[in-house]
């Protein structure tokens, strides 16, 4: 995205979408994910941009190019959009002939000095958290191809020295990190001691996601077990009828033994039925 640079004086106006960066409140973790998805889809699939709410939910929950992988529901994404819209990061648009509302980011006004290389880097940082310069160079190829790692590092420095306020910060090697990594600052200041592979916000969201996923999986497994048991019961009944016999439950309850008649002789027990 190429935008004309504006001086700090002209950036200070009364319109909400050109408020100086230094006055902006930190974004929530969900707002960061939504904003990153809007930027990514504009750069990689412009033919499908702006995005509908359903498309945005799907983008937020992608299993590729996301760290961590999330399971945000429609209400959560809608709430994040409202937060972004209220601070001028996103816009709701109505296209001629469209039956649903669509959404787009507004970074060309919010951060007007960003150009395509720096926007691509910021996008990947929003979607995948702290990364090295080499990782950023590789992961931005779909949006912008840097010639080499030094070229990526040069663009990273532009983000670190953004005139109104730094947008990216470097994290020195150490604490399990073998080289310098970089993290965006749209979610607020970064606590160096707490940076590893994910932030505290990522861990909290991921924990909730894991719990919901596990509960859903356990429920589906229980349903599958019931269905298998019913299929085995029906199969046993079918085999019994083909053998010329019949069976009935003795007593009540699913765990009671069964009696069967095979060739005129009564047999009691459940062993003959799988």
- DSSP designation for 49: -
Can you give the pLDDT at residue 95?
78
Q: Do 171 and 192 form a contact (C-beta atoms < 8 A)?
A: yes
pLDDT in tens, 210-254: 676 677 777 788 888 888 988 888 888 888 887 766 555 544 455
Backbone angles phi, psi at 227, to 5 degrees: -65, -40
Rounded Cα–Cα distance for residues 88 and 23 (Å): 12
User: Model-level pTM greater than 0.85?
Assistant: no
Rounded Cα–Cα distance for residues 205 and 209 (Å): 6
pLDDT in tens, 34-54: 999 999 999 999 999 999 999
Of the candidate ranges 70-84, 124-138, 151-165, 201-215, the one whose mean pLDDT is the lowest: 201-215
Can you give the pLDDT at residue 191?
74
Place of tokens 């994040």: 80
- DSSP designation for 23: G
Of the candidate ranges 85-89, 115-119, 233-237, the one whose mean pLDDT is the lowest: 233-237
Buried b (16+ CB within 10 A) or exposed e, 139-159: bbeebbebeeeeebbebbebb
What is the CATH number that goes with domain 8-190?
A: 1.10.10.10
Can you give the pLDDT at residue 190?
82
For residues 245 and 55, which has the higher predicted lDDT (pLDDT)? 55
Of the candidate ranges 87-101, 124-138, 241-255, the one whose mean pLDDT is the lowest: 241-255
Bridge partners, residue 103, by sequence:
51, 92
Rounded Cα–Cα distance for residues 171 and 222 (Å): 46
Rounded Cα–Cα distance for residues 184 and 38 (Å): 16
For residues 31 and 174, which has the higher predicted lDDT (pLDDT)? 31
Is the pLDDT at 57 greater than 80? The verdict is: yes
Q: Do 40 and 123 form a contact (C-beta atoms < 8 A)?
A: yes
Q: Do 31 and 83 form a contact (C-beta atoms < 8 A)?
A: yes
Which run of H or of E encompasses 229?
A: helix 200-242
Length of the chain: 274
Handedness of CA 61, 62, 65, 68 (dihedral sign): positive
Q: Where are the domains of the chain?
A: 8-190, 203-268
- What are the E-state strand segments in the chain? 51-52, 90-93, 102-105, 168-171, 181-184, 246-249, 258-262, 265-268
- Percent composition of the chain: helix, strand, coil (DSSP 3-state, to 5): 50, 10, 40
pLDDT in tens, 176-190: 778 999 999 999 988
């Amino acid at each position: 995205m190429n935008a004309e640079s504006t001086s700090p004086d002209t950036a200070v106006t009364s319109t909400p979408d050109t408020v100086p960066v230094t006055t902006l409140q930190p974004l929530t973790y969900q707002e960061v994910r939504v904003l990153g998805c809007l930027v990514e889809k504009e750069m990689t699939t412009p033919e499908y941009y702006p995005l509908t709410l359903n498309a945005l939910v799907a983008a937020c929950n992608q299993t590729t190019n996301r760290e961590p992988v999330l399971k945000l529901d429609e209400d959560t994404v809608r709430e994040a959009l409202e937060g972004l819209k209220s601070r001028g990061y996103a816009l709701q648009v109505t296209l001629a002939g469209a039956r649903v509302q669509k959404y787009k980011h507004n970074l060309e006004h919010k951060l007007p000095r960003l150009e395509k290389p720096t926007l691509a880097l910021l996008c990947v940082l929003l979607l995948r958290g702290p990364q090295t310069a080499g990782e950023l160079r590789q992961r931005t190829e779909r949006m912008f191809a840097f010639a080499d790692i030094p070229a990526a590092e040069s663009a990273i420095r532009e983000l670190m020295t953004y005139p109104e306020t730094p947008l990216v910060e470097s994290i020195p090697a150490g604490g399990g990190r073998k080289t310098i990594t970089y993290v965006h600052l749209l979610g607020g200041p970064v606590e160096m001691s707490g940076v590893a592979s994910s932030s505290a916000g990522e861990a909290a969201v991921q924990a909730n996601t894991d719990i919901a996923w596990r509960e859903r999986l356990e429920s589906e497994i229980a349903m599958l077990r019931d269905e298998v048991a019913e299929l085995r019961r029906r199969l046993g009944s079918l085999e019994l009828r083909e053998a010329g016999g019949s069976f009935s439950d003795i007593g009540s309850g699913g765990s009671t033994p069964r009696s069967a008649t095979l060739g005129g002789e009564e047999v009691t027990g459940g062993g003959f039925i799988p």
